[in-house]
Structure 1
Amino acid sequence: MTQTANTHPALNTGSIQNLELANRYVLAPMSRASATEDGVPTAEMAEYYARFAKGGFGLLIAEGAYPDTTFSQAYSNQPGLCTDAQQEGWRQVVEAVHAQGSKIVLQLIHAGAVSQVVDVPHGPSPIRPEGHMLQMYGTKQGPYEEPAELCEKDIAALKAGFVQAAKRAEKAGFDGVEIHCANGYLLDQFLTPETNLRNAPYGGSVENRIRLTCEIIAEVRAICRQDFVTGVRLSQAKATQPDYFWMGGLDDARVIFSAVAEAGASFIHFASERNGYFYHSSTKDGVRLTKLAREITGLPVIANGGLEDFSLSAQILSEGEADFLAIGKSAMCNPDLPNRIANQQLLKDFTFEVFSYGIQVSGQLKWEAEQSA
């Protein structure tokens, strides 16, 4: 039978832990640098997220918030979740999304060595990240700096920051959090042998290198209510290394997936946004990691990477390679993407002209106003 839009498997209901979702479409977290200078989410951000909920996304993953005021902030005007004011700002975002009938979780992210705002970035080891700082983000530009090495006291403090931020997210009304261990940020720096030259307990074997992420997941699960979703984002590629693959391939994957599941993760979000789903949701040998994660852990898996493609996304869900589809850039130009699929409407092509006036939400709204004038 020919697949038609209104029978697309992504329109089926789904669940993560006890969280019932209207469909399989997930808004991927996208850094928009639109908070106040002190990291407080704004009313404009609440309206921005609400339109994705109104557009039919069953689950929204809000952009990465920094969990402490020491070394974690990545870029200017990034939202945080370590003060009362930030918590109240996020509450407005959550209420706006819930009012439209969608669920929302918050990504918690620590920049580590790739911070573009802190005076002295800190990382697992004093290894300078490859590449250059991201344009339009942060107060610094040019090559990344060599970070200072985190001491045991620093690690204990940053771990506590994640846990306290998760508790604040629960108080703000979020349905859960996503712990960010991907894309070359701090927890991924611990996972990556080239940037982690430490010895045990957090360096050496892959079991040691994923340990900090697992400890954070376990402690968040212990402090928050039982039905509070606690997922994890993983990736092979990094923001400045789009062709990076896990050194140990399948062996690393089996250890990593098993470890986060045993720690209590509610879902695995496998990011492949830089070069597309087939490229980075697989090993170099072409073994699909999203499917492997489902088989090893039994957890819901969120796939990512060009999944606005109608046929590709249907294939991934129908063949059991993933349970949910995270949509990023295409969602910027199609905040009503799920509704468009359900109503058999064409999608608008993503264009980088969205950022003509900067990466902030206000810049996009200005550009959109010009297009409709």
Structure 2
Amino acid sequence: MKKAFEPIKVGRHQLQHRIVLAPLTRFRATLEQAVPTDLLVDYYLQRASPGGLLITEATFISRLAGGYRQAPGIYSQEQIDSWKKVTTAVHEKGAVIFLQLWHLGRAGSSNLNPNREPIVSASAIPIPGTKPNGKPYETPRPLETLEVKELVQTYRQAAINAIEAGFDGIEIHNANGYLLDQFVNSSTNKRTDEYGGSTENRSRLTLEIVDNIVDAIGADRTAIRFSPNGSVQGMKDEDPVKTWGYLTTQLQKNHPGLAYLHFIEARSDFTADGKVNTVDTLEPYRQLWKGPFITAGGFSTAIKHSVDLAEKTGNLIAFGRAFIANPDLPERIKNEYHLNKYDRKTFYTHDAIGYTDYPFHSDNNSKL
């Protein structure tokens, strides 16, 4: 367990351990204005530890970036001011916190846009299958080339807003079938302009966003999350190792000082409560990236495997479900305390139940 609790420098900060709060959508912001509430202050404060890294839930970069109700934004002054309460509380406890920047793309819904604007993507290709209500997914409108360039500036401004809100850095959500992932994957990007076709062109938007955010706030306050081989929301790429290998190589070449790269293990399944993930498909990217590397996906049901992986690779390990139910997760893992069980029914509700009411450990807890 030595490596998992060994200090590591991430961006401008010296972390004291490598147990990371993964970005987790929880729907506790306000309904109309997407403003973080005091519940979020309590939630992140509970999970903060001296020298620990927290990554916030995915946060919308603009009003049209997505329509999930009660997910927070970072595009208004009220949102910025409310996030300041979160960052202030977390910093007083000695933790480091990054904000994850988000655009849903075709995973959104026109019904939830302010004027029912159509959803957008790289190409006019809907998510396959049907929604939970049995209806087909909407066909998105392809972004015009000029709109893609404007999108880069929207990400840049969102990053600037995050720094104003007191965050230590930002993580670009470039994974899990959302807009930027839709540009990267060959199955969802059939464009014929400079942002489509070759691996280099499909990667262009991501790399331009990184360039612009680095220019605005610095490489050491910039990070990014990827999900190679991911199939969430209909993702599929013709050659994942080539695609994400290219992205990683370009980031290593042009921005070796990024705070970290964050990769999701492709074969993990957070919807299967009993499944234990003990595979590792991310080694090709570790070989290319020389800076801090966060591995995520399926570790909440494989604590020993996660600790072993940290020992083998030196990676930081991001936990989702286990961190939801155990606000003091780093301490529990270090001391091999018993873990609280999470309640999936409260993941996406809107109050304190299943959010800020999980107990901390006690001396009576049994060993793992």
Instruction: Tell me the TM-score range normalised by the shorter chain.
Output: 0.7 to 0.9
Q: Report the counterpart of residue 352 of structure 1 in structure 2.
A: 344
Question: C-alpha displacement at 1:211, in angstroms?
Answer: 1.0
Cα separation, 1, equivalents of 2:248 and 2:218: 23
Question: Could you tell me which of 240, 244, 257 is aligned with 1:253?
Answer: 244
Verify the 8 A CA contact 2:74 2:158 in the aligned structure 1: yes
Q: Provide the C-alpha distance between the structure 2 equivalents of 1:67 and 1:81, rounded to a whole number of angstroms.
A: 6
Q: 1: CA distance between counterparts of 2:309 and 2:35?
A: 37
Structure 2 unaligned runs (5+)? 271-275, 360-368
Q: Deviations over 1:7-63 (max 9, x none)?
A: 442111111133211210110001111111211111111111110004x67100001
**Matches of residues 204-215 of structure 1 in structure 2 within 5 Å?**
204-215=197-208
Q: Secondary structure at the match of 1:31?
A: coil
Q: 1:306 aligned to 2:298?
A: yes
Deviation at 1:349, TM superposition (A): 3.0
Determine what percentage of the aligned residue pairs are the same residue: 32
Aligned length: 342
2:122 corresponds to: 124
User: Partner of 1:90 in structure 2?
Assistant: 83
Q: 1:145 to 1:346 in 2, by over 3 A?
A: same
Indicate whether 1:22 and 2:16 are aligned. yes
**Residues 76 and 160 of structure 1: is their aligned pair in 2 closer, same or farther, counting only changes over 3 Å?**
same
If the length of structure 2 is used for normalisation, what is the TM-score? 0.86
Alignment of 1:186-265 (within 5 A): 186-225=179-218, 227=220, 229-235=221-227, 236-241=229-234, 246-264=237-255, 265=258
Deviation sequence 1:66-89 (CA, Å, 0-9, x none): 1112x3124111111111111111
Shift of residue 362 of structure 1?
A: 2.9
The verdict on how the C-alpha distance between 1:366 and 1:59 changes in structure 2, with shifts beyond 3 A counting, is closer
Aligned to 2:363: none
Amino acid aligned to 2:284 = L
Specify the code of the residue in structure 1 equivalent to 2:252.
A
Q: CA deviation at 1:331?
A: 0.8
Structure 1: which 5+ runs fail to align? 1-6, 136-140, 283-288
Letter in 2 for 1:34: R
Cα displacement string for residues 232-287 of structure 1 (whole angstroms, at most 9, x for unaligned residues): 1000324334xx564214322321211233342432111135367555x52xxxxx
Aligned equivalents of 1:183, 1:238: Cα separation in 2: 8
**2:174 is paired with a residue of what secondary structure?**
strand
Letter in 1 for 2:190: L
1:1-373 matches, within 5 Å, as 7-36=1-30, 37-54=32-49, 58-69=52-63, 71-116=64-109, 117-118=112-113, 119=116, 120-133=118-131, 142-225=135-218, 227=220, 229-235=221-227, 236-241=229-234, 246-264=237-255, 265-272=258-265, 273-274=268-269, 278=278, 281-282=280-281, 289=282, 291-308=283-300, 309-320=302-313, 323-355=315-347, 358-365=348-355
SS at match of 2:341: coil
